[in-house]
Amino acid sequence: MNGRRLRRRVVSGTMTALVAVLSFVAVLALVLILGHLVAKGASSLDWNFFVKNPLPAGQSGGGVANAIVGTLIIVGFAALIGLPIGIGTGLYLAEYGSGRVGWIVRFVADVLNGTPSIVVGIFAWTWLVKPMGHFSALAGSVGLAVLMVPMLARTTEEMVRLVPHSLREAALALGYPRWRTSLRVIARTALAGIVTGCLVGIARVAGETAPLLFTALGNLNFSTSILQPMQTLSLQIYVYATGPFDEWHRLAWAAALVLMGLVLLLSLAARWAIRQHHGAAR
Amino acid sequence: MTTVPMEPVAAPEPRWHALRGTNVTDRLYRGVLTALALMLPLLLIALVSELAVSAWPAIRHFGLSFLWTSVWDPVAGVFGAAPMIFGTLASSLLALIIAVPLALGVSIYLTEFAPKWLRQPVAFLVELLAAIPSVVYGLWGIFVLIPFLRTVVVPPLRAALGWTPFLSGVFYGNSLLAGGVILAIMIVPYIAAVSREVLLAVPVSQREAALGMGATRWEAVWTAVVPYGRAGLIGAVILGLGRALGETMAVTMLIGNRHDIGLSVLQPAYTMAAAIANEFSEATTDLYLSALFEVGLILFVVTVVVNALARLLIWRVARGTAVGSRAL
C-alpha cells in the first residue's frame, strides 16, 4: 500500500513538473523569437532606414520608408472600412442577437474568423483587382477589413454584454429611446473594451502578408495613392527574406523588428485600455 | 379659422413610444445595425460563390480526379492537387503532434498548478506568440530554425530513427519538418488560450470531489477536470488544426514548395495555401488560374468545416459565451 501511494505521489510530482516545463518551453519560444529580432535587427535601425526608400538589388544601404508609410495607409483604410461594420455587427449581436438571425451571424463570424488569409486574398483579387484591371492598395485594405470584421464583431458583442442590465433599464426608465440608450449609455460604458477589440484587430491585420500578395502587390517606390500598388513592411520582409542577398536579409530583420514593434505597441495599448476598463468597473 | 390649434407645442414624446419600440429613430437604428450584421453572411455567400464560379472550369475539366492525381503541369495544362492536399494534412498533423502536448501542458499548468502571481503574465506571454506576424515566423524559421534543425535536431533523430521511411533522404532545410515545427509554434497560443478558458469553466466542485476522495493533485486534474472539459479541449485542438491548415506565409517560406508526395519529413513538400501564394500571380492560362481557385475552394471548405466543428464542440462546453474569441 505504501509503495503504491509513493508511486502516485511521484507520478503527480513528475506530471506537475512536466507541465511547468512545457509552459517554460512555450515562453522560451517567444523569448527566442523576440531576442533574435532584436539581436539581428536592431543594429540596422538608423535614420536612413526610416527615411530612405529601397535601393536596387545588390546595392547596400537604403531603407523602408515606403513600406512603413504603406503599412500605415493600408491598415488605416482597412480600419476605416472594417471598424464600423465590425462594431455595428457586434452591437447588433448584443442588442438584437437573441433570435435566429443573431445565431446565424454569430456562427458565420466564428467560422469566418478562421478563414485562411490567402483565400481572402484571392477573393479581394477577383472582386477588386480583376475588375479594376490593376493592383491597388485599396484592394489590400478591403482584404484586411474582411479579416478584421468577424473578430471585431465578436469582441464588441462580448464587451457590450458585460454592461449591467440595470444601466439599460435605468436609461429606458428615464425615457431615453433605445438607440440613445444603446449608443450613449451601453456602448459608452463598454467603450474601453471595444477600443481594446479594435486595437487587437488592427494589430492582427497589420502583420498580414497573404491577403496583400495579389492586391497591394508591393512597390519599389514611394507611393501614397491607394489606387496604385503599395509596399508594406510584411511584403518587404517576405521578398527580402526569400531573396539571395545578405544585404536584403539584414534589412528583412530590421523591417521585422519594426513591424513587431508596431504590433506589440498596439497589443500593449489594447491591454492598457482594458485595464482602464476593469479599473473603472463598478 | 377661429379654432385654436389643439396640439400642444413641443410636447415631449410619450415615454411608452420608446418602450414599445415604435420610435422611428429606434427602428432606423435597428435597421442600420441589422444591415451591418447581415453583411457577414452575405460576405460568406459571396466568398463561396466567387470561389466556386472561378473554380468551375477546373472542376468541370478534371472532375474529382483533381483530388487524387498528382501531376501539376501548367505547360501541359494538367492539374492534380493530391501533393498539396497531402502536404497540407501532413504538415498540420505534424504541427498538432508537437503543439497539442505543449499547449495542453501550458493550459493545465496555468489553471491548476502555477502560483497565482505567475498565471496572468505567463498566459499573456504565450498569447503574445499569436501576435507575431506569420511572415516574421517565416523569417525566423529560415535563418534560425532551419540551421538549428540541421545542426542540433536532425543528426540525432537520424541516428536513432534513420531506418524508418519518415527520416529518409538528404535534409537541405526547407522541408515538411521545418514547416510543421513552425506551424506548431504558431498554433500553440490558440490551443492554449481556448483550452485554458475551457479548464477555467470546469466547476471547482469537480476538483474538490476528486481531492476529497484522496486523489493526488495530478489525478484530480487528469481524472476529474480534463474529462469534464473533454469536448471543449477537443474543440480547442480542432481550432488549432483549422489555423494550421490555412496558414500561409511561414509555411510557404519553409516547406520547400515541391509538388511531391513522400513520407519523409526531411523532404520538401507543398501546401494548398503555399501553392496559391506562390503561383497565383504567375498563372498564365485560364485553366491554371481556375485550378488554383479550386485549390482555394477546397482549402476554404475544409477550414470552414473544421472551424464549425470546433465551434460546436466549444459551444457545447461553454454555451453561448464567446469562449476563446478574445484570443483569436
Residues of A with CB below 8 A from B138's CB? 237-238, 241
Angle at B187 between CA B186 and CA B192, to 5 degrees: 125
Residue B275, CA distances (Å) to A223, B28, B176, B270 in order: 29, 46, 14, 7
Whether residue B55 contacts residue B294, with contact meaning beta carbons closer than 8 Å, is answered with yes
Residue B73 lies in a domain: yes
Give the domain extent around B249.
Answer: 59-327
- B6: phi then psi, degrees, rounded to nearest 5: -85, -30
Residue of chain A whose alpha carbon sits nearest to that of B281: A214
Residue B8 lies in a domain: no
Q: How far apart are CA B271 and CA B256, in angstroms?
A: 10
With cut-offs at 50, 70 and 90, classify the pLDDT of residue B20. Answer: low
3-state secondary structure of B73: strand
Residues of A with CB below 8 A from B322's CB? 154-155, 157-158
Residue A108, CA distances (Å) to A192, B241, B260, B323 in order: 25, 18, 35, 16
The three cell numbers locating residue A226:
491607394
Of B135, B173, B134, nearest to B265 by C-alpha is: B173
| pLDDT at residue A52, as a whole number | 87
Residue B33, CA distances (Å) to A89, A97, A255, A268 in order: 6, 10, 39, 30
Of A84, A224, A223, A213, nearest to A145 by C-alpha is: A84
Cβ neighbours around A155 below 10 Å, total: 25
Q: How far apart are CA B189 and CA B173, in angstroms?
A: 25
Interface of B with A in 137-166 (CB under 8 A): 137-140, 142-144
Residue of chain A whose alpha carbon sits nearest to that of B133: A207
Residues contacting A245, CB < 8 A, separation 6+: A57, A58
Q: How far apart are CA A114 and CA A254, in angstroms?
A: 30
User: What is the tens place of the pLDDT at every residue in A8-48?
Assistant: 999 999 999 999 999 999 999 999 999 999 999 999 888 88
Residues of B with CB below 8 A from A102's CB? 37
| pLDDT at residue A280, as a whole number | 46
User: What is the tens place of the pLDDT at every residue in B144-190?
Assistant: 999 999 999 999 988 888 888 888 888 889 999 999 999 999 999 99
User: What is the tens place of the pLDDT at every residue in A47-103?
Assistant: 888 988 888 877 888 889 999 999 999 999 999 999 999 999 999 999 898 889 999
Residues of A with CB below 8 A from B139's CB? 237, 241, 252-253, 256
| pLDDT at residue B22, as a whole number | 65
pTM of the model: 0.90
Residues of B with CB below 8 A from A119's CB? 47, 51, 246, 276, 296, 299-300, 303
* Burial class for A149, CB neighbours closer than 10 Å (0-12, 13-18, 19+): buried
Q: Do A182 and B188 touch (CB under 8 A)?
A: no
Residues of A with CB below 8 A from B300's CB? 115-116, 119
User: What is the tens place of the pLDDT at every residue in A214-226?
Assistant: 998 888 888 888 8
- Give the rounded percent of residues in chain B with a pLDDT score beyond 70: 90
With cut-offs at 50, 70 and 90, classify the pLDDT of residue B327. Answer: very low
ipTM score assigned to the predicted complex = 0.92
Residue B148 lies in a domain: yes
Over residues B283-303, the mean pLDDT reads 93
B232 close contact with A: CB closer than 8 A: no
Q: Do A36 and B23 touch (CB under 8 A)?
A: no
Chain B nearest C-alpha distance from A47 (Å): 22
B216: pLDDT strictly greater than 50 = yes
Residues of A with CB below 8 A from B30's CB? 95-96, 178-179
Interface of A with B in 1-30 (CB under 8 A): 8-9, 11-13, 15-16, 18-23, 25-27, 29-30
Residues contacting B114, CB < 8 A, separation 6+: A20, A23, B122
B247 close contact with A: CB closer than 8 A: yes
B8: pLDDT strictly greater than 90 = no
Q: What is the CATH number of the domain that holds B75?
A: 1.10.3720.10
User: CATH: 3.40.50.970, 1.10.565.10, 3.30.342.10, 1.10.3720.10. Which one for A47-280?
Assistant: 1.10.3720.10
User: What is the tens place of the pLDDT at every residue in A167-192?
Assistant: 988 998 888 888 888 888 998 889 98
| pLDDT at residue B314, as a whole number | 78
Domain ranges of chain A: 2-44, 47-280
A119 close contact with B: CB closer than 8 A: yes
How many separate domains does chain B show? 1
Over residues B52-60, the mean pLDDT reads 94
